[in-house]
Structure 1
Amino acid sequence: MAGRPVLVLVAHGSRDPRHAATVEALRRRVAARRPGLRVEVGFLDFCAPPVGRVLEGLAAQGVREAVALPLLLTRAFHARTDVPSVLAPAAARLPELTVRRADVLGPSALLTAALERRLHEAGAGLAPGARRSTGVVLASAGSSDPEANAVIADIAREWRRTGRWFAVRPAFASARSPRTEDAVRDLRASGARRVAVAPYVLAPGRLPDRIAAGARAAGADVLADVLGPAPEVADLVLRRYDRAAAAPAALPLAGTA
């Protein structure tokens, strides 16, 4: 693995200490899956160290190349604006360090597999008979970007088809409706015998807590955990890393992700 670019996981950040702890758990799992690969974490906000400082540290240590991988599930505002606004100035300050930008994590069949894992761990019951009577709420943070929200709806439709659930409804913790509790009640009214809520979020924080509160308020039967360091997420991180590291040229650090 000598000479491979350093992997820098670019996390959103949160005032909730569970967020950084979950990202660190994911970092450890990724590193364990790829011995010899150096994996670092930088945050866009709230947590330390910030992404720019991580890149400056790498340059000071003589590292020549890094892959910055946004731990984001859609190409929404953070991917299109926040990430480039951090990476581009850092790259300009550090001409000795080539920074390749990997794609965001979602959508991906591996994330759907991670959702399935979390539901199974929470006791949703994945037997075909249980699936046919269970409605699932795919609960995401939500975005001011309608295209990002449309992606969540597309994932819900595809997951319903491939997972053979009674139904899969998208829900959002912010920016737009329906809220988690509304989607749970809608599934009940539609005839679902059981309702499971699957948070499509990477780490705990304010919005995931809002998803959980909505699930409890509406009486959901199952509430899955966040995706966190699920093995499928770690595998997806490495897949995105490998693609960026093998690209013939670094991706532009500004503009659309």
Structure 2
Amino acid sequence: MKLVLAFHGTRDPRGLAVCDLIAAGVRAVVDVPVVVAYADVLEPSVRSVVDSACVVVPVFLAAGYHVRVDIPAQVAGVPGVVVTPPLGLDAVPAVRERLVEAGVRAGDAVVLGAAGSSDASALETVRVAASMVGACAVGYVATASPRIADVVAGVRGRRVVVASWLLAPGVFQSTLGRCGADVVAAPVGAHPLVVAALVDRYYSALRSSGVGCVPQFV
């Protein structure tokens, strides 16, 4: 079954590069067609690439509007399409590794920087992610509060390190970089752990849908 990686969509070439790298990582593991589509902003849309034999994996860090409403609406009426849960909290191990790469030290005040959402369930996912990362607080770039710069200012007194709960570089990551923290980790990006989680979403969907001869991803 074809695998459709559904991204939010961005006009930032750095973000598009991450989408391409994630897709390349998945293609290196699965022996099926892997197609990139976008829930918003760009073409091809999810609607335009789905058919009756595909699995749609939303590459989103939380189940907000696009995951709960938009993507299901785009695949509605196409029989046999399977939509998996989003990447979500399975991105946390990659975020931890990005912190290590950034040089986080014992005693640092870790703040999780996220885009923000008007969706309560998406904000709850961010709060859980912050706990799993070991962050002392959460700050948002847009759509929710408190704002990241205010949070960073409020925990001053020790070195502040921002963990990025963002998928790719772009305007939001640049805002994190200007928030006043001592260190800002890179976004999740095309981390091997993200690729592994997305492939696992695909194979889990095949098992759940009763497709035979599903390989085990290791």
Q: What is the TM-score when the length of structure 1 is the normalising length?
A: 0.76
1:71-90 pair list within 5 angstroms: 71-89=59-77
The answer (yes or no) to whether the contact 2:55–2:83 under 8 Å persists in 1 is yes
2:4 counterpart residue number: 8
Count, aligned residues: 211
- Structure 2: gaps (5+ residues): 212-218
Listed one character per residue, the Cα deviations across residues 126-172 of structure 1 (whole Å, up to 9, x for unaligned) are xxxx32x1111111111101232122112212332xxxxxx531111
Give the alignment of 1:1-257 within 5 angstroms: 5-34=1-30, 36-55=31-50, 59=51, 65-89=53-77, 91=78, 95=79, 98-108=80-90, 111-124=91-104, 130-131=105-106, 133-160=107-134, 167-188=135-156, 191=157, 193-214=158-179, 218=180, 220-248=181-209
- Following the alignment from structure 1 to structure 2, what is the Cα–Cα distance between the partners of residues 74 and 30? 20
**CA drift at 1:207:** 2.6
Hey, which of these two has a bigger chunk of helix by percent? 1
Partners of 1:67 and 1:241 within 8 A in 2: yes
Which of structure 1's runs of 4+ aligned residues deviate more than 3 A? none
Structure 2 counterpart of 1:127: none
**Aligned equivalents of 1:116, 1:159: Cα separation in 2:** 6
Q: How far does residue 225 in structure 1 lie from its aligned partner after superposition? A: 1.1
Higher relative contact order (CA 8 A, sep 6+): 1
- Relative to structure 1, the CA distance from residue 249 to residue 209 in structure 2 (aligned partners, 3 Å threshold; closer, same or farther) is farther
User: Contact conserved, 2:12 with 2:170, CA < 8 A, in 1?
Assistant: yes
Tell me the distance in 2 between the aligned counterparts of 1:183 and 1:17.
Answer: 29
Aligned-pair RMSD on alpha carbons? 1.9
Q: Which whole-Å deviations, capped at 9, do the CAs of 1:9-45 have from their partners, x for residues lacking one?
A: 00100121222111010000111133x2321101122
Counterpart of 2:214? none
**Could you list the runs of 5+ residues in structure 1 that have no partner in the other structure?**
125-129, 161-166, 251-257
- State the 1:249 CA deviation: 6.5
1:143–1:149 contact (8 Å) kept in structure 2? yes
- Report the Cα distance in structure 1 between the residues aligned to 2:162 and 2:189, rounded to whole angstroms: 16
Percent identical pairs in the alignment equals 35
CA distance in 2, matches of 1:175, 1:148: 12
Rg comparison, structure with higher value: 1
How many Å separate the matches in 1 of 2:89 and 2:75?
22
